[in-house]
Amino acid sequence: CKKRLDDEADQAVLDRLVYIIRNENQEYTDEEKRAVKEGKKLHENFKGIEKFKKIFSPDKRVEMKTVHVDGETIVTGIATTVVDASVEECAASQYSGLSSNLIKERAPQRNITSLEVKHVNDHTLYYVTTRDIGFMLTPREGRSKVTWMKEEGGEVVIDISDTKDVMEEYPVKESNHLASSHSVWVFEPLDPIGEIPQTAVSFTTRVDAGGNVPVFAANKNAKNFLSTVSDLRKKFDKSKEIEEYKTGGEIGVARNKIELSLLVDSSELTFERDSKGDRLSLGRGAFGNVLVADYHGTRCAYKEIKPSALSEETKKRFFLELKLVGKLRHPNIAQCLGVVWELGKNGILFEL
């Protein structure tokens, strides 16, 4: 169905960006560097302010705060949480999500009535929106330039700033207000829980909606902006696995049994697809599908293991097979190229 194909397409874009953030150096213009620097400055300036008012967060694991003076147009909001995913996954999810099929589907829930995205390169895009902010107020339009940058310490920053670069291509309607905003995402790596990566996420947004905006309207729209943090947390939520690990479960233990040189990150694989957009399958094995994938330019077979098949007996069979094929080197036997062993993604990679 269309939704499944859309989800798979979004996931493919996400996986590719995770790989880029993790492995590929980016060349930035002076303008892009300045934008990220200003984004970090915004984050630091508001991080320690105590006069923020806490607002109700529907997600108890996300803290939301805002500050707004009644009658003024500027409102600043901050949302913080910890996400059960790597820095690269968090940043890639938020950045690629701006142009995903999912955001288009959920646009009405975000009060977005029109949305256009124009990519510049792997780390910068233009984001053009029109929002209905309700309360009989004039629709607000936004013209933003979005840039992500990975710092030396592993932190990733996404800056979202006003831009005039696309005003000619996307003029503001006479009946609408052009809103001004500056937002920044900061993703900082934390110590993992077992094999589950942890990332501290902070989203700071400063919006000048234009016109006279009452407090209740400002707070409602601020909450809509900040709720994207909750969406990100829920997307990667692994509370069950963490609880299982803390209470002595097997999560993460199995990965330690695999030789380090064999471990492959799932983001390094690109799966071939048929004319319908489905992942190309060579058939089914004892554990699950056998798919065709590209691994750094090498066409290979990926012997998938479905999560539902991961019983203790299946794990024993899997590791027994792995010990054998991982050491075999023979012209008549397909060589094992690596193993993917992550939460929800498990399989062996063979040459074709």
Q: What is the pLDDT of residue 30?
A: 97
β 53-54/177-178 pair status: unpaired
Q: How far apart, in Å, are the Cα atoms of 301 and each of 12, 281, 287?
A: 18, 9, 14
Q: What is the pLDDT of residue 166?
A: 94
Six-digit token pair at 201? Answer: 């996420």
Q: What is the mean pLDDT of each run of 10 residues along the chain (352 residues)?
A: 79 92 94 96 79 78 73 72 95 92 74 88 94 74 95 94 94 87 94 87 80 49 69 91 64 62 84 82 80 90 74 69 66 78 80 84
CATH number listed for the domain at residues 254-351: 3.30.200.20
CATH number listed for the domain at residues 2-243: 3.30.530.20
- What do you get for the CA distance between the two ends of the chain, in Å? 30
Q: What is the pLDDT of residue 56?
A: 76
Spatial CB neighbours of 335, under 8 Å, sequence gap ≥ 6: 328, 329, 350, 351
Six-digit token pair at 80? Answer: 């913080």
| Whole-number Å distance between alpha carbons of 96 and 117 | 11
Six-digit token pair at 254? Answer: 């199995």
In the DSSP assignment, the letter for residue 272 is -
User: Where does the chain hold its CATH 3.30.530.20 domain(s)?
Assistant: 2-243
Place of tokens 């006003």: 162
Query: Per-residue DSSP letters for 13-79?
Result: HHHHHHHHHHH------HHHHHHHHHHHHHHHHHHT-S-PEE---SSTTSEEEEEE-TT-SEEEEEE
Q: The pTM is what? A: 0.69
